Amino acid sequence: MTTHSEDRRQIVGFIGLGDQGLPMTEAITEAGFAVHTWARRPQTLDDPRLGDLTRHASVTELAAAVDLVALCVSTDEAVLDLAASIIPAMRPESIFVNHGTGTPVNAVALAELGARHAIRVIDAPVSGGRPGAEARSLTTLAGGHEAAIQAAKPVFETFSARVIHLGPAGAGQRAKLFNNALMLMNMQAITDILTLASGTGTDTGALVDALRSGSAASRALDLLGTMVRPDTVDHLFEVCVLDMVIFAAAMSDAGTHPQTAQRVVTSGLAGARRLAEAVRLLG
């Protein structure tokens, strides 16, 4: 097993070379880590940006060959399905990382599965989207044991500007869900302001530029017109609605302040549904 002092020689397994996972894998490879991978559709591994990867015919073969397995897939169901095969096949004290967005309850279940096989599990969703992954400026929100996160940190730092340890298993997922909900609530408020501004004849493009420099500045404003564009808005709408569905499930599991949780869900879903309107109003 690779030690922390030998972290640059860790062998990394990465599964999920999609919109965000591909530039993350590219960053890990460029940093000098040996990267192994597997894909249900092998043609996804042919992107020239990935460099020299070791391909495996099965997830169990990959799991047995690496020190750290990272997943960046779209649903908890997919993560749990893959983990059921991967974790038992990993070497003891190896690390299993979920970079996708999911519920804290499932993060705890993954940690418990890992503990039964002496595998260290981290929930480490990332914030920043594909642009952040390409710029190596993602924020990685980690939940799990401190020692495991420190051991995985050199890998996370290849694609992250910040790696933040939020607490035990599930804490990273909670932070990501709160982040997503607040961003979408902000987007709803921005759309309301742009609607009013447009009705008064205000140049909305100039207004957004001014707001970004004033006390109303926010990450949601920064994303509007950059990451949130006419060519991306339909896909982002689907992703954001799924994020709010996961948020609602997580808050239901937690059983805390149900009326406040419902207000946040309603506002966040409204923000997601109005993304296209905000883009149109921006012009």
Alpha-carbon separation of residue 18 from 25, 51, 122, 225, 279 (angstroms): 10, 16, 20, 22, 25
Give residue-wise pLDDT tens across range 220-257: 999 999 999 999 999 999 999 999 999 999 999 999 99
Mean pLDDT computed over 22-50: 89
**Residue-range domain boundaries for the chain:** 4-168, 174-282
What is the model's pLDDT at position 45?
80
Instruction: Return d(Cα 112, Cα 103) in angstroms, integer.
Output: 15
Q: What is the reported pLDDT for 154?
A: 96
The whole-number pLDDT of residue 229 equals 94
Check whether 145 has a pLDDT greater than 60. Answer: yes
Reference 24, options 102, 128, 136; nearest CA is 136
pLDDT for residue 7 is more than 70: no
Please give the pLDDT value at position 42: 79
**98 beta partners:** 71, 123
pLDDT tens string 100-116: 999 999 999 999 999 99
Is pLDDT at 4 greater than 50 in this prediction? no
Q: What is the pLDDT of residue 172?
A: 98
Over the chain, what is the mean pLDDT? 94
Check whether 20 has a pLDDT greater than 70: yes
| Crossing angle of helices 104-116 and 76-89, rounded to 10° | 10
Arithmetic mean of pLDDT, 175-194: 98
Specify the range with the lowest mean pLDDT, choosing from 2-6, 21-25, 73-77, 236-240.
2-6
What six digits make up the tokens of 200? 């008064």
Domain 4-168 has CATH 3.40.50.720: yes
Round to whole Å and give the CA distance between 169 and 123.
Answer: 7
Report whether pLDDT(3) > 60: no
Nearest to 120 by CA among 149, 154, 142, 89: 149
Between these two residues, 3 and 141, which has the higher pLDDT value? 141
Beta bridge partners of 138: 160
Whether 5 has a pLDDT exceeding 90, the answer reads no
Read off the pLDDT band of 2 (50, 70, 90): very low
Mutual angle of helices 171-199 and 104-116, in 10-degree steps = 160
Model confidence at 283, in pLDDT bands (50, 70, 90)?
A: confident
State residue 47's pLDDT score.
76
Counting residues of the chain whose pLDDT is more than 70, the rounded percentage is 97
pLDDT digits (tens, 9 = 90+) for 118-139: 999 999 999 999 999 999 999 9
Q: What is the pLDDT of residue 173?
A: 98
* Predicted pLDDT of residue 85: 98
Q: Say whether pLDDT at 1 is over 50.
A: no
* Distance, CA of 69 to CA of 102 (rounded, Å): 17
Phi, psi of 92, deg, nearest 5: -55, 140
CA distance 34 to 22: 15
CATH for the stretch 174-282: 1.10.1040
